[in-house]
């Protein structure tokens, strides 16, 4: 089920700037009985990203109503909110009169296998290096060719790949954020030069103290524990990163339990 | 007038990967009486770019027929060919069964003011720095947020802005390629780390010997002459780059004359 600017539809204008230039942002959300999980964090991310591109943000209650409508009949769903700058004349210049396009879509979803969260996942390094673009860093925008290439190169044996930037520092997974435990302190890559700041990344940082720092590949290999996370997958401890192995996932269990509670909660 | 996969239409599926990820390429072409100018160079660029993203390229005769149809009744037109990876399920992974989307559109166009090509244009430096991404360098793909931001920041007093990469080397204009004359030798930035290689850039290199090199801002300021070019604008000598002024445009006139002949020519 899909709503485009509030109306059931499945097509958009071919001159939409979302298609022409990737001029827009999106969020992918887990919904239960029509209610989006992590909504306060998701909406905050959407608002922050839209503001950085100068896009208007729809009213929160409107989005919630459209998510509920898109999820009708789906007890467990993946929803996606896409906001673009709408149709415009030829050329990169942002039109003064652009009217944003809002797409809210959902489909049924059974979730990832539970063993990922329980037993941990196998990671490898991606060959592709992310370009540095501070002006777009952190934004979940529609320019995702780097993500497409990274994901398409990831061997199937690995649940996730770790992306470095062109300077060789660690950024994220192909579709997740990365957290590292060193001597009892949580760290996550600073996303001020590239990468996507997921809603679950924000949620984790609301639960435990986390340092946002520049991490090198050897910092991951020396870590006591790693996990990757996104709002669909939840939190996956890392069982291996190429040759390196981890076995003790105890430090991540309280976060997983808190997240399960968060997901089970319903907004008032 | 627009054709989508050969059929008159103006909407595409909202789950097209061109919208979701910018997973596609495009060309913008000048057409005269339905015939695209610089077609051999345009088609070569489209073929090269599509191959780099693993997209199928439509048959050349099909594209020419669709361009002619889209330009019907338009003696002078701007056409745009967009190729995307088509609709796909959620997720970055490239679907095995993706069926490409082909959009051919055109609208009437009166051209840029002649004074740009005759008297030269005023340039400035863009504040935005392009990220380095060798895997996408040169490709006219649909991830164009950097271009949108650069163009939107360009003060109206300037016809074009010069973009540097995150290393501080010169790449291109916001919608043009840059050529530099030093002691009788033409140079243009090597586009192996970022930037868009335009069809007219290739044409210029087919006309005169051009070195593809790394250029620094001071190399532009020390040049005997600069020009910017794209297939819509043609060749514009640069009259100023911030404080620096140029007055002698004689070396660019033979190229402009050859291009006028090329544009006036019709394919057999």
- Tell me what pLDDT residue A26 has: 98
Contact flag A14-B105 (C-beta cutoff 8 Å): yes
Chain B partners within 8 Å of A144 (Cβ): 20-23, 92, 143
Give me the mean pLDDT over the B24-46 stretch: 97
Q: Is A29 on the interface with B (CB under 8 A)?
A: no
B 141-200 residues with CB below 8 A of A? 141-152, 166, 174-175, 194
- Tell me what pLDDT residue A90 has: 83
CB count in 10 Å sphere of residue A80: 20
Q: What are the residues facing A262 on neighbouring strands?
A: none
Instruction: Label each residue of B185-225 as H, E or C.
Output: EEEEECCCCCCECCHHHHHHHHHCCEEEECCCHHHHHCCCE
Name the percent of chain A lying above pLDDT 70: 99
The bridge status of strand A170-173 relative to strand A160-165 is antiparallel
CA distance A236 to B185: 57
Local structure of B2: helix, strand or coil:
strand
Query: Tokens at residue A126, please?
Result: 């991606």
Chain B partners within 8 Å of A149 (Cβ): 135
Q: Is B78 on the interface with A (CB under 8 A)?
A: yes
Q: Is A93 on the interface with B (CB under 8 A)?
A: yes
- Tell me what pLDDT residue B266 has: 60
Q: Tell me which of A86-95, A255-264, B38-47 is least confident.
A: A86-95
The model's confidence at residue A18, banded by pLDDT at 50, 70 and 90, is very high
- Residue-wise pLDDT for B40-74, tens only, equals 999 999 999 999 999 999 999 999 999 999 999 99
- Tell me what pLDDT residue A98 has: 76
B268, pLDDT greater than 50: no
Give me the mean pLDDT over the B187-201 stretch: 98
- Tell me what pLDDT residue B98 has: 77
Q: Is B228 on the interface with A (CB under 8 A)?
A: no
A169, pLDDT greater than 50: yes
For chain A, the first-to-last Cα distance in angstroms comes to 25
B124, pLDDT greater than 50: yes
Q: Is B232 on the interface with A (CB under 8 A)?
A: no
The bridge status of strand A210-213 relative to strand A185-189 is parallel
Chain B partners within 8 Å of A128 (Cβ): 135
- Tell me what pLDDT residue B213 has: 98
CA distance A83 to A104: 9
Residue A93 per-residue DSSP state:
S
Q: Are B176 and B152 within 8 A, CB to CB?
A: no
In terms of residues, how long is chain A?
A: 268
Give me the mean pLDDT over the A109-127 stretch: 96
Tracing tokens 């016809």 back to the chain, one arrives at B159
**Shortest CA gap B20–chain A (Å):** 6
The model's confidence at residue B89, banded by pLDDT at 50, 70 and 90, is confident
The model's confidence at residue A143, banded by pLDDT at 50, 70 and 90, is very high
- Tell me what pLDDT residue B90 has: 83
- Tell me what pLDDT residue A75 has: 95
Name the percent of chain B lying above pLDDT 90: 94
Contact flag B131-A132 (C-beta cutoff 8 Å): yes
Chain A partners within 8 Å of B84 (Cβ): 19
**Domains, chain A, with CATH or none:** 2-108 (3.30.470.10), 114-252 (3.20.10.10)
- Tell me what pLDDT residue A268 has: 41
Q: What are the residues facing B165 on neighbouring strands?
A: B130
Contact flag A147-B9 (C-beta cutoff 8 Å): no
- Tell me what pLDDT residue A267 has: 56
pLDDT mean across residues, chain B: 96
């Amino acid at each position: 089920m899909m709503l485009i600017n509030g109306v059931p539809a499945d097509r958009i204008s071919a001159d939409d700037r979302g298609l022409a230039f990737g001029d827009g942002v999106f969020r992918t959300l887990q919904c239960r009985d029509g209610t989006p999980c992590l909504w306060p964090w998701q909406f905050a991310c959407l608002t922050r990203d839209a503001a950085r591109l100068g896009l208007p943000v729809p009213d929160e209650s409107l989005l919630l109503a459209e998510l509920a409508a898109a999820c009708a009949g789906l007890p467990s769903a993946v929803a996606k909110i896409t906001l673009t700058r709408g149709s415009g004349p030829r050329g990169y210049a942002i039109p003064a009169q652009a009217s944003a396009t809002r797409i809210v879509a959902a489909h049924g979803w059974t979730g990832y296998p539970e063993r990922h969260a329980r037993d941990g996942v196998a990671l490898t390094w991606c060959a592709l290096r992310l370009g540095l673009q501070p002006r777009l860093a952190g934004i979940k925008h529609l320019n995702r060719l780097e993500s497409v290439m990274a994901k398409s190169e990831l061997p199937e044996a690995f649940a996730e790949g770790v992306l470095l930037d062109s300077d060789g520092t660690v950024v994220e997974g192909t579709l997740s954020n990365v957290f590292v435990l060193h001597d009892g302190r949580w760290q996550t890559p600073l996303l001020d030069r590239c990468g996507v700041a997921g809603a679950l990344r924000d949620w984790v940082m609301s639960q435990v103290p986390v340092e946002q720092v520049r991490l090198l590949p050897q910092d991951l290999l020396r870590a006591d524990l790693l996990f990757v996370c996104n709002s669909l997958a939840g939190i996956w401890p890392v069982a291996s990163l190429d040759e390196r192995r981890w076995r003790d996932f105890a430090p991540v269990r309280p976060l997983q339990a808190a997240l399960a509670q968060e997901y089970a909660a319903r907004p008032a």
